[in-house]
Structure 1
Amino acid sequence: MTQSITNKILALVLPKFGYSIEHCQISLLGNGLINNTYLVKTIDKTFVLQCLNQQVFPTPLNVTNNADKISSHLKVKSDNGRYALTPICQLHTTDKKNHVVVQGQYWRSLHYISDCYTLESITNAEQASAVANAFAQFTAALSDFDSENLAEIIPQFHDLSLRIAQLNQAIDNASEPLLISAQASIKFIQSQQAFVEIIADMTKSLPLRVTHNDTKINNLLFSKKTNKPVAVIDLDTCMAGYLMHDFGDMIRTCCPSIAEDSPALDNMTIDWEMLTALTSAYVAGFNGAISEIERTSLLFGIKLMPFMLSTRFLTDFLNGDRYFKTTYANHNLVRAENQLQLYKLFCQQEALLTDIVLSP
């Protein structure tokens, strides 16, 4: 979408929230892979404006309605001193809705917290502890919210068996050049059927919670004054899920020595001090309200999330890059190979992982 087209749409969207584009300063915000997000500044107010990706979120009303329910619950907890972080709330339109539809696109406005920043990577163990504790606080504060009250934003989002089936379908439909490029990754994933079956069995016994489902460090806001987490953001994929998904995703994004789309696989190592700090702080953040089977599941989540994401990246590559934003032809293949390497490194250190995650 060109800038001129974007401005024309924004000129139609902003009045729905009570503003005119002529009196707004607008800039792109963040580097998310899914939605288009803008920072809007007026004379007396700053807020976030976001266009939901309907290819990723085919039922955008479920996204905005879930966010309202979660934010309302957390605000009550915050007002009563039972949630230390700041809830991120959606700003409603002039006719009291949590969204607006313009030319078939769904837009929503979000509360903006000033004097904050985001991070793309963790630099030390102290910071890791703060990150893990923040995500644990978020989930713990929602422990008395019935996850069945939330819509399922992406059906079977973390269903590994489904992801494997989707990959197999993509393999059947992919062009020969793409299949040749992805051959090594396809073969390795297909060799891990035993792991897929272990995960399927484990999920039958785990309790469902309200989980964030995208626990990357860049989904936290940090205070410029204290350098501590202030808020958990990006609630788009919040729904019923398992702790191992949130925990594994956090480990996946925080502990490798290279970025998730780096092709320098030989340079990938695991920061075990970081992983230990994340684990201790995450478990502590629940103040004992984590069952034995959930604690055990965290060990599997560490391996599950890079394996599952590699499967998703590879599927998208074979499907022609329909889901994740890419900047070059083989971007999703590089991501898939990167996450498979991470999975392999974790598998090689099973004993060490067990000691870290399950030690008293």
Structure 2
Amino acid sequence: MELNLDSEVLKAYGYTKENIKITQIGTGLINRTYLLSPLSEKIQYILQNINTSVFKDPQAIADNLQAIAKYLAKKYPDYLFIKPISTVSGNEMAYIKYEHWRMLPFVPNTVSLDVLTNEKQAYEAAKQFGKLSRLLNDFDASALKPTIPGFHDLALRYEQFTLALTKTSKALKGKAKPEIDDAIRHKYILDYYKSFAHRPDFPNRVMHHDTKISNVLLDAKTFQGVCVIDLDTIMPGKFISDLGDMMRTYLCAFSENESDLSKVKIRLHYFEAMVKGYLSEMKSILTELEKELILFSGRYIIYMQALRFLTDFLNGNIYYPTSYAEQNLDRAKNQFKLLHEISVNEKELQDIIEENLV
């Protein structure tokens, strides 16, 4: 495959196409990612193009990472935080032909997984996300800029859903009627959230916001957690963002693209591993209110994602890539089924939480 990589991008970091090997890597849908292997060096690098249709203020990402990197270097110098490498002119990013690029060190002898295959991986991933938030517990979250404003704002997502209802066609509304009813019936999740959203014991923290398994590096041999990656969405948020997103993506053996709803089940052992890993780092800093909201975090994020898929379907599939017309509706059905599974298994799930809070 021919790589469409401008030589000026390499030049910004002191390389040319003649002295470096370039391989396109990654399965992410947002940023284009390359592995750079200099011919005269042992170290390798990750080069990423920042998708400005998603991240409209790339400088906010650079500023956030620089501030966090400085804090961690001072307070926890042994922690592996993957910060961008400066260009030859000393900038955090390269700006070439209206595109933003950044280079990161490649961490050898590690793997990132697209799919969880055992409980240990869930434990290690959750532990790493919890560890980063714990180390940043005393960092002033308000010093960070939102890189995607409203990303996990359920009130905004519900508002977008209700707006879509007023604009969609009768045909789409008819096809989605059961899911529309589900969305309205579950509005209590938003109402409940509003009841404590501004309480002082529900603080803003430094959150990753995208805690899928592929955003953690594991040791290639032992599968021990090494560090968290893909840090574009680090910004102020509530703890439910990270833990809830882990529940959404770790608990079922199948992704939101599975249309056979009989397969959408919660794996209790994975839940236990995830909670154990996360609380091994976060239990000491969570407030009593936050501890009460651990299971709710899953409901919040899963409901929000169901709303987003449903809204996109009603809007004519303008945001999420689809391979067939009703895929976003099927994704919404999938997420509502997962939300239902939380309720069906609530006692067992809450018992696991209580055991790990002792």
- TM-score with structure 2 length normalisation? 0.91
Distance 1:240 1:192 in 2: 26
Greater mean alpha carbon deviation, residues 322-331 or residues 246-255: 322-331
Which residue of structure 2 aligns with residue 37 of structure 1?
33
- In the other structure, the counterpart of 1:285 is 281
AA aligned opposite 2:150 = Q
Map Cα deviations across residues 100-158 of structure 1 (whole Å, 9 max, x no partner): 22222221111211121111232333332222211111110111110011001122221
- Identity, % of aligned positions: 34
Deviation track 1:291-310 (CA, whole Å, cap 9, x = no partner) reads: 11111121210111111111
The answer for the alignment partner of 2:131 in structure 1 is 137
- Which letter does structure 2 place at the counterpart of 1:220? V
Residues 55 and 323 in structure 1, CA contact (< 8 A), matched pair in contact too: no
Amino acid at match of 2:308: R
Q: Are the equivalent residues in 1 in contact too, given 2:47–2:102 (CA < 8 A)?
A: yes
The verdict on how the C-alpha distance between 1:105 and 1:331 changes in structure 2, with shifts beyond 3 A counting, is farther
Give the match for residue 293 of structure 2: 297
Equivalents in 2 of 1:273, 1:68: separation in Å?
A: 37
Q: Does 2:251 align with 1:273?
A: no
Q: Equivalent residue for 2:51?
A: 53
Matched, 1:188 2:182: yes
- Structure 1: how far apart are the matches of 2:120 and 2:87? 40
Where 1:134 maps in the other structure, the secondary structure is helix
Query: Which residue number corresponds to residue 264 of structure 1?
Result: 260
Q: Distance in 2 between matches of 1:319 and 1:65?
A: 34
Structure 1 counterpart of 2:311? 315
Give 1:176 deviation, angstroms: 4.7
Q: Displacement, 1:65?
A: 1.6
Q: Where in structure 2 are the equivalents of 1:94-105 lying within 5 Å?
A: 94-105=88-99
Decide whether aligned partners of structure 1 residues 13 and 332 sit closer, same or farther in structure 2, where only a CA change above 3 A counts.
farther
Offset from partner CA, 1:53-107 (integer Å, 9 cap, x none): 112111111112212222332333442x4x4xx2111011111111122222221
| Ranges in structure 1 where 5+ consecutive residues have no aligned partner | none
Structure 2: tracts of 5 or more residues without a match: none
Which position in structure 1 is the counterpart of 2:354?
358
Query: Contact (CA 8 Å) 2:189, 2:299: kept in 1 or not?
Result: no
Q: Residues 318 and 101 (structure 1 numbering): CA distance in 2 closer, same or farther, change over 3 Å? A: farther
Alpha-carbon distance change, 273 to 328 in structure 1, aligned in 2, over 3 angstroms: same
Equivalent residue number for residue 66 of structure 1: 64
1:317 deviates by: 3.2
- The aligned amino acid for 1:224 is A
Instruction: Tell me the distance in 2 between the aligned counterparts of 1:229 and 1:327.
Output: 34
1:270-299, Cα deviation, whole Å (9 max, x unpaired): 111111121122112125222111111212
Cα separation, partners in 2 of 1:202 and 1:299, compared to 1, 3 Å: farther
2:159 alignment counterpart:
165
**Residue 239, structure 1, aligned to residue 235, structure 2:** yes
1:87 match: 81
Change (3 A) 1:171 1:131: same
Q: Does 1:255 align with 2:255?
A: no
Flag the 1:268–1:258 CA change in 2: closer, same or farther, 3 A.
same
Secondary structure at 1:22 match in 2:
coil
Distance verdict in 2 for CA 1:31–1:330, change over 3 Å: farther
- In 2, are the aligned partners of 1:135 and 1:215 still within 8 Å (CA)? yes
Q: For the residues of structure 2 that align with 1:72 and 1:330, how far apart are their CA atoms? A: 46
Change (3 A) 1:58 1:318: farther
| Coordinate RMSD, CA, aligned | 2.0
Q: Which amino acid aligns with 1:115?
A: N
* Structure 1 residues 26 and 169, CA gap change in structure 2 (3 angstroms): farther
The amino acid across from 1:47 in the alignment is Y
**Secondary structure in structure 2 of the residue aligned to 1:285:** helix
The letter for the 1-side match of 2:354 is: L
Range moving further from structure 2, 278-287 or 298-307: 278-287
AA partner of residue 223 (structure 2): N
> What is residue 106 of structure 2 aligned with on the other side?
112
**Displacement of 1:320 after TM fit?**
4.2
Relative distance call for 1:10 and 1:158 in structure 2 (3 A) is: same
Letter of the 2:46 partner, please give it: V
Question: How far apart, in 2, do the equivalents of 1:129 and 1:96 lie?
Answer: 38
Q: Give the Å deviation of 1:10.
A: 2.4
Distance 1:209-1:340 versus aligned 2 partners, 3 A rule: same
Q: Give SS of 2:6's match.
A: helix
Structure 2 CA distance for aligned equivalents of residues 32 and 332 of structure 1: 19
Correspondences of 1:148-227 after superposition (within 5 Å) = 148-205=142-199, 206-227=202-223
Equivalent pair of 1:316/1:322 in contact (CA under 8 Å)? yes
Tell me the secondary structure at the aligned position of residue 236 of structure 2. Answer: strand
Structure 2 CA distance for aligned equivalents of residues 320 and 91 of structure 1: 40
